[in-house]
Structure 1
Amino acid sequence: MQTDMPLAELLTHLDRLAQQSLALWEMPPNARARLINVSENATYLVEADGGYKSVLRIHREQYHTRRAIECELAWITALKEAKAVVTPDAYSGKDGEIIQEARIDGLENPRFMVLFEFVEGVQPDEAGDLEGPFEELGEIAALTHEQSKLWPRPANFERLVWNVDTVFGDTPNWGNWRDAPNVTPEIATVLEAVEVRIRARLDAFGAGKDRYGLIHADMRLANLLTGPGGTRLIDFDDCGFGWFLYDFATGISFMEDDPRVPALKAAWVRGYEKMRPLSDVEKAEIDTFVMLRRMALLAWIGSHIEAPEPQAMAADFARVTAELGADWLAKTPTQG
C-alpha cells in the first residue's frame, strides 16, 4: 500500500472511511469494521449484533481501475457458475452497484470498495503437514486454468499481467528488485545473472494458450479456507494474465527456502494432474517460476516497506533470494 503518508496516519483515515462507508450497504445499524489485513488493500471484518459478518475491501489507490475490479468480479462469478471453484460472493450496495466509491477528509482521492460474504473456515497450518493441502491447491489451480482457457471473457477485459516484463521491465508491477533493502553489490551480481537466465528460459518456454492465461496469481495457503461448506479460494485481487505454473510459485511465496518445498511441489503436481496433464517440459520449468516469483517478492518488499509484513522480512530476504538464485543457476541451463 505505497503512499507518501505514514502508515499509521493512513490507517486512521481508512478506518474512518470504513466506518462511514458501511451505510452504503444494507446491514445492521450497529455494524462496525475492524482491520484484519494490510497489503495492497486494507481489509476489514465487519461485525454486528446477531452474528452478522462480512468482509470489506478498501482498494489501494491507483492499483486497479474500476474496470479491472469489475473484471475480477466477473471471473469470480464465472468460476462459480462453471463449478470450477467456490468463492465468496460480493454484495451489491444500496444503489445496486457492487463496486462502491467514497472519500473522506484526509485522503486526497476517493477509494473503491467491495463488500464480500464472510466465509467460515480455517487456513491450513503452515507448521503442519502441508502435502494434503498442496495437493488440493494443485487440483484447484488446474480447475481454474481449464475454466480460464474456455471462458469467453467480457469485452475490454482488464487485469494485471504477470510476466517477465512486469517483473523485470521498465514499469514493473511491484517496483525494481534492485531497490529492495539489503541488495548489496554482491547480491545484485547474483540476481542480475538470475534475471538473465529467467528471461532466456521463459522466452524459450513460450506463452501458448496451453501454458498461459488468466490465473489467480496469489494462490497461497492463506487464501484457501476450509470450512463447513467445503474449501474456498479467496482474494482474487492479484488475478491477471500469466503462466499457469506461476500459480504454484505463488503458493510457496515467502517459504521458497523451506526444505519441504520439493515434496510440496510433487503434491501440487499430483493434484494438478488429476484435472489437467503437465508435460515433462512444463514440470522442468516449475523452479524457474519459483525464482521469477521470488524476485517479484523481493521487489514487493522494497516497494511496500512501510507495512509490517515487509519490514519483518526485509533483513534477510535479499540474501536468501541470492542463495536460492545461486543454487538454481548451478542446476539450471540457459535453456530447457
Structure 2
Amino acid sequence: MNATVDNALSLWGLTDAGYNLVAARENAVYKVETPTDVFALRLHRQEYRTNVELDSELHWMKAISDGGLSVPSPIPSKTGDVMHMVDGVQVDVLDWLSGDTLDAVLIKSDAKTRVALFQTLGQDMARLHDICDTWQRPLGFSRCAWDIDSLLGDAPLWDRFWDNPGLTAKDRYLFHTFRHKTRTDLADSAKNLDYGLIHADLVAANVMVDGTGLHFIDFDDGGYGYRVFELATALLKHIDAPDYGDLKQALICGYTSTRPIDLATLDLFMALRATTYVGWNITRMGEDGGGARNTRFINTATKLAADYIG
C-alpha cells in the first residue's frame, strides 16, 4: 500500500512529505506532514462509492466549510482535481483537523461538560442543515438517500437487518412486524418531515473536539435523509449512559435554538437507526469483537423495536 500512497502524494506535489497510517476502518486514512502543513490522505474502500458520488461528497464538504462549519475541506491536486484513481483506488487529500474524538472526551468529562458538548453538537448539527438547504448543488450531484426504501425496503443501504444470522426466531418475527408497521407509519408522516442533506453518521467517533469547538468528519455515508434521523444517530450509542436524558435534552435544545424540528417521530427513528446497525454488522461478523458487537446491536434494536410496537 505504501507504493499507492507514494504515487498519490506525487499527484499533490507532496513527494517529500512524511506519512503514517492513522485509521484503517472503512477507508485507510494517512496523516501527511510537511515542514509547514498537515493533511489527511484517504484511500477509499473499493466499490463503495462511484467517482461521481465521491466527487459530490468533496464539493459538498467544501461548501459546508465555506458556510462556516468546521469540516475537512478537499485539497486540489496539481491538476486542480480533488480526487484521483491511483492503482485502482480512489484517493483524495483533505486538510487536517486536530483534536480528540468526542467519545474520548466524553469519557473524561464531568456532567456539566458532557451536557455542554451535546448542546454545541445540536447547534452545529442545525447549522449543517441550514448550510445544506441554502447550498446550490452542482449539476450531476449524486449521493445516497436514507429514505423509506433505503431503511426498510428489500435492499436497505446497510443490508437486511431481519436476516442477521444472530437473530432468534422471536427476533425475526419482531423485526418483520416492526418493518411492516414502521413502513406504514413512515409513509404516513414522511410528507411532513424535514428532509434534505444530512451527515447520517454523526456518532461521537466522527465528531472531533478542539478546545470548545467541534469538527465534523467522515461524510462517507452522507446523503439525503430525514433530519430527525440525524439526531437519532447522534443519540443512539449513548442510550444506556446514566445521563442520557440530560444529553438528549441538551442536543435537542442546541438544535432547536438554531432551527425548528418536529420530534414526534424521534422514537421511530431511534428504533430505525438501531436496526441499521444490525444489518451493517452482517458482513462484519468475522472481525475481532464482531460477535459481541452483534449481540449488543441486536439487544438494543429489539428493545427499541418492541417499545415502538408497544
The TM-score, its normalising length taken from structure 2, stands at 0.89
Whether the aligned pair in 2 keeps the contact of 1:187 and 1:319 (CA below 8 Å) is no
> What CA distance in whole angstroms lies between the structure 1 residues aligned with 2:24 and 2:117?
23
Q: Which amino acid aligns with 1:301?
A: N
Q: Match of 2:134?
A: 150
Secondary structure (helix, strand or coil) at the match of 1:204 reads: helix
Q: Match of 1:88?
A: 72
Whether the aligned pair in 2 keeps the contact of 1:181 and 1:318 (CA below 8 Å) is no
Whether the aligned pair in 1 keeps the contact of 2:6 and 2:15 (CA below 8 Å) is no
Q: Match of 2:125?
A: 141
Cα distance change, pair 315–230 in 1 and its aligned pair in 2 (3 A): closer
Q: Deviations 1:48-67 (Å, cap 9, x if unpaired)? A: 5x475321211122211111
Secondary structure (helix, strand or coil) at the match of 2:42 reads: strand
Work out which of the residue numbers 36, 45, 68 in structure 1 matches 2:53: 68
> What CA distance in whole angstroms lies between the structure 2 residues aligned with 1:284 and 1:272?
15
- Structure with the higher helix share, 1 or 2: 2
Whether the aligned pair in 1 keeps the contact of 2:161 and 2:276 (CA below 8 Å) is yes
Work out which of the residue numbers 288, 294, 317 in structure 1 matches 2:274: 294
Whether the aligned pair in 1 keeps the contact of 2:70 and 2:215 (CA below 8 Å) is yes
> What CA distance in whole angstroms lies between the structure 2 residues aligned with 1:253 and 1:99?
33
Work out which of the residue numbers 192, 201, 207 in structure 1 matches 2:176: 192
Work out which of the residue numbers 293, 300, 320 in structure 1 matches 2:300: 320
> What CA distance in whole angstroms lies between the structure 1 residues aligned with 2:220 and 2:186?
25
Q: CA deviation at 1:30?
A: 4.9
Residues 99-114 of structure 1 aligned to structure 2 (within 5 Å): 99-103=83-87, 110-114=88-92
Secondary structure (helix, strand or coil) at the match of 1:245 reads: helix
Whether the aligned pair in 1 keeps the contact of 2:167 and 2:298 (CA below 8 Å) is yes
Work out which of the residue numbers 204, 208, 225 in structure 1 matches 2:188: 204
Q: CA deviation at 1:165?
A: 0.8
Q: Which amino acid aligns with 2:166?
A: N
Q: Does 1:236 align with 2:219?
A: yes
Q: Which amino acid aligns with 2:194?
A: R
Q: Match of 1:107?
A: none
Q: CA deviation at 1:16?
A: 4.8
Q: Does 1:21 align with 2:8?
A: yes
Tell me which moved more, 63-72 or 306-315.
306-315
Q: CA deviation at 1:188?
A: 1.2
Q: Which amino acid aligns with 1:120?
A: S
Work out which of the residue numbers 76, 81, 98 in structure 2 matches 1:97: 81
Residues 260-271 of structure 1 aligned to structure 2 (within 5 Å): 260-271=243-254
Q: Which amino acid aligns with 2:89?
A: R
Secondary structure (helix, strand or coil) at the match of 2:101 reads: coil
Q: Match of 1:8?
A: none
Q: Does 1:119 align with 2:97?
A: yes
Cα distance change, pair 132–149 in 1 and its aligned pair in 2 (3 A): same
Q: Deviations 1:94-135 (Å, cap 9, x if unpaired)? A: 3321101111xxxxxx11111111111122223244322211
Cα distance change, pair 111–229 in 1 and its aligned pair in 2 (3 A): farther
Residues 215-234 of structure 1 aligned to structure 2 (within 5 Å): 215-227=198-210, 230-234=213-217
> What CA distance in whole angstroms lies between the structure 2 residues aligned with 1:200 and 1:111?
41
> What CA distance in whole angstroms lies between the structure 2 residues aligned with 1:311 and 1:299?
13
Q: Does 1:57 align with 2:42?
A: yes
Secondary structure (helix, strand or coil) at the match of 2:145 reads: strand
> What CA distance in whole angstroms lies between the structure 2 residues aligned with 1:244 and 1:43?
28
Q: Match of 1:275?
A: 258
Q: CA deviation at 1:300?
A: 0.5
Specify every segment of 5 or more residues in structure 2 that has no aligned partner in the other structure, as ranges. none
Q: Deviations 1:17-57 (Å, cap 9, x if unpaired)? A: 33443222222515233142312x22222345x47532121
Q: Does 1:32 align with 2:32?
A: no
Cα distance change, pair 316–169 in 1 and its aligned pair in 2 (3 A): same
Identity rate, percent: 27
Cα distance change, pair 212–62 in 1 and its aligned pair in 2 (3 A): same
Specify every segment of 5 or more residues in structure 1 that has no aligned partner in the other structure, as ranges. 1-13, 104-109, 331-336
The TM-score, its normalising length taken from structure 1, stands at 0.82
